[in-house]
Amino acid sequence: MTQRWDVFCKVVDNFGDIGVCWRLARQLQSEHQLDIRLWVDDLQVAQRLIPSLTLAATEQRVDGIRVMHWCADADFSDAADMVIEAFACGLPPAYIAAMQQQQSRWVNLEYLTAETWAEDFHAKTSPQANGMVRHFYFPGFTQATGGLIRERHIPPVLHPPAKQAVNACKVSLFCYPHAPIISLLSAIAEGKQPVHCYVPSTTILPQVADFFGKTSLQVGQMVSHGALTVEVLPFLSQADYDQLLTRCDINFVRGEDSWVRAIWAGKPFIWQPYLQEEGAHIPKLKAFLAQHYQSMPITALNVSQAMHMAWQDTAFQASVWDDYLAAWSSINAATQEASRTLFSQTDLASKLVIFCNNL
């Protein structure tokens, strides 16, 4: 009999939460033959990634997944065998009551981090006052964690490292609006190497338009200044975005979903973690850089760290961009090696299924 799983997703950070949950739900359904319901509280945001969603529907089927609108008047009386609470989103009290009746298993899927404490807390339990047990599942970059989302169709990075950066550098730009976007574009424009920058239509588009002295930019439009040419892309599906990452030489990514996809693309990337109070995101960044680029030569590592830290600042120095381009070959080789190392580990969905079946 097919196992029934429910995945609960509360949209907090625009596309990050739903992006991870939608990928996971599809993989669990297609590769592990599970009956999946995805509960989403904001269908309007979800529709950007799942265009065929009908906003007025309380229940609908998309790509084999039953998408449920998580709203106040939803029917929470039918709990699944396995319940995934994504990112501590909190489950409806009525649904938790149904879980008690069903004797459902309960797992909280945590945010991805490279910090070493994730290994200590992965797979730990939290007994609840109602007698149920909540299990904590930490994705991660080591065998002692829950792994990374990676579908079977993703190929390993096999091509040899390039010996030097290409003449016409292709860059993708996906970031949070508080990033030093204007100073980055200025640094690229003032540089000697021509850069073609692809910018999907997101909340940063007004700042890009402002850099070029435009009131707005439209999808399909191309604008140039100095060494920089920007091409505005539509908001991309996950599959199209993954393709963009593999075609570019440098990728600016953010949050969790695009971060992991940049790893599988095997191209040099600059990650912007989600902004947290009191700079709590900076240790997350430093832990990832230390873990991911263990094989990188020290000079290239210093350049990569300087680039990442500048991208978290309020301004971006042109010299940081120039240094990164000069070290691109070494960074590229180390990025590919790190991707191959992670590819040898078991993916998150597979490890999650094993973990849940053993509860």
pLDDT of residue 166: 53
Please say if 190 is a catalytic residue.
no
Rg over alpha carbons for the chain, rounded to the nearest Å, is 21
Do the domains spanning 4-149+345-357 and 169-343 agree at the CATH topology level? Answer: yes
Please say if 59 is a catalytic residue.
no
pLDDT of residue 159: 62
pLDDT of residue 358: 93
Residue-wise pLDDT for 86-125, tens only, equals 999 999 999 999 999 999 999 999 999 999 999 999 999 9
What are the sequence ranges of the domains in the chain? 4-149+345-357, 169-343
Which residue numbers in the chain have pLDDT < 70?
A: 1, 13-14, 159-167
Cα–Cα distances (Å) from 317 to 180, 187, 209, 303, 310, in that order, read 10, 7, 20, 13, 8
pLDDT of residue 1: 64
Catalytic residue among 17, 81, 85, 249: 17
Residue-wise pLDDT for 298-308, tens only, equals 999 999 999 99
CATH annotation of 169-343: 3.40.50.2000
pLDDT of residue 162: 52
Catalytic residue among 41, 256, 257, 347: 256
CATH annotation of 4-149+345-357: 3.40.50
pLDDT of residue 267: 96
